[in-house]
Structure 1
Amino acid sequence: MGNFMPATPVQTLYVSVRRDELRRLKEERDQLQRQVAQLSMLLEQSRSDGKAVSV
């Protein structure tokens, strides 16, 4: 088959994020992580109870 060679060299992308944007993104991430933990707990409870999950 031969070696795969990318058409263009790999480039690094730099972005700027303001402190308030970063704080908001971190808060949103924390909230989503709490939601995932809560939903995982509910799913585990429903599995152990043998019930169907209704979200």
Structure 2
Amino acid sequence: MIDDWRTSSHSGQEGNCVEVGWSADQVGVRDTKDRDGGTLRFETEVWQRFLRSLDA
């Protein structure tokens, strides 16, 4: 279960952003305006590869 959610400090007050949360083996991404609308879930290693690709 993903229960530790964070929103970027760069999001501002408008709420047009996503939250990222994590558990021991998954990372979740959801819309801050519709938190019950669904969550994209990724294995931790897949998420880490995605983040590394942003640095390239």
In the superposition, the TM-score normalised over structure 2's length comes to 0.32
User: Which has a greater percent of helix?
Assistant: 1
**More RCO (CA 8 Å, sep 6+):** 2
User: Which has a greater percent of strand?
Assistant: 2
In the superposition, the TM-score normalised over structure 1's length comes to 0.33
Max Rg structure: 1
